[in-house]
Amino acid sequence: MAPGYILALNVGSSGLKFAAYEAGTMRLLVRGEWRASAGAAIQLRLSAGTGGVAVCTTVPSLLPTGQIRLILDALTPYTETRVLMAVGHRIVHGGRCFSVPVILDNHSISKLEELSPLAPLHQPACLAMVEAVREVMPGLRQVACFDTGFHNALTPPVSRYAVPPELEADGVRRYGFHGISYQSITDQLAADPTFSPDERVVVAHLGSGASLCAMRNLRSVDTTMGFSTLEGIVMGTRPGTLDPGIMLYLMRAKRWSADQIERLLYHECGLKAVSGMTGDVEALLRSTDPRAREALDLFAFSVARHTAAVASTLGGLDRFVFTGGIGEHASPVRAMIGDRLAWLGCELSGEANDDNRREISAADSRIRVQVLETDEQAVIARATAGLVTGPTAMAADASNEHR
């Protein structure tokens, strides 16, 4: 039998990341991503294994089926004679029905489509990629990994909103997101010989979307996102926590429709609104416009404010971890956040922070501060391999046959 490989697809709010792994060994073969480029084009970047061999091309914007075909063509020189065994997907919202990875079938896809109103920026795009794989490679097994799954163990009062019980019974509760990223960080912390399980940890996933997760024994005990991907920290184009009275005002005084409000909340708020320019932190850091600084200051304030909130759930803070695109690369933003957390005992080493080192806390900092690279694709691939190979695959297939 020809050797196989697993393909992990990670559809995000600002692009698509993917990676191919050798089945069995889970050795990385190639990773890539694409983002919007000039006009209606996308920029495709590839990096082979750990060698850093980069390929960069610009192609016309494509529908999901075209994206899948392009990815498969781009992977061919790196996967060689290996057979694609399965595709794993990041699915943002699993709701109450899905907390662990599952093999996708008609039933599960239908249930996940029902959750699209809770994550309209992500869920439809994720599921469109699932359908594209079905169209291009009929019969290939696909696995869903859920951003909400990591927070499944949240319990009251953290998991509750102060709403009538009938709404809670309908699923109006706090779910939390970015769970695949948080799983990647906990895997790294668990492998760190200096890490103690009783440490009180806050992980900051800071990217186009942003959230915090408070952890004890490497399990989620609090998080800033809740029912949808809107709550919590100020984000690129999302406002974070917002007084719901503003929505009532827009509906009653301004006669705004639900569609108008949805567009506002997901596309026209956040750093983009405050700066009047963009939600891209890299561009804001380059700008000399004072509004760019105001937007970044609000972002740092928001992260620090919510850190204090989730640290109260932990009863203190021992370690703070930056991850995500902003957390891993924007050292000035990390410095701004660190300054606002000084009262908690957080002190950064300016040199280490500027150099993007793994450890960026000063020697006398009471809180250990790290920068860890998240690898959601690796988490997705391992979960996918676990479901499509070995005895777990047989059990999953049997379960799907009886749906």
By annotation, the residues acting in catalysis are 147
Measured distance CA(47)–CA(368) in Å, rounded = 31
Contact 361, 367 (CB under 8 A): yes
Query: Where is 154: in which H helix or E strand?
Result: none
Measured distance CA(203)–CA(150) in Å, rounded = 13
Omega cis (within 30) before 157: yes
- How many CB atoms are closer than 10 A to CB 97? 14
Strand pairing class (83-91; 141-146)? parallel
Q: How many residues does the chain have?
A: 403
Measured distance CA(270)–CA(239) in Å, rounded = 4
DSSP for 155-205, written as a single string: -TTTT--S--HHHHHTT-S-----HHHHHHHHHHHHT-TT--TT-EEEEEE
Give the 3-state secondary structure of residue 6: strand
* Sign of the CA dihedral with 10 first, then 16, 17, and 23 last: positive
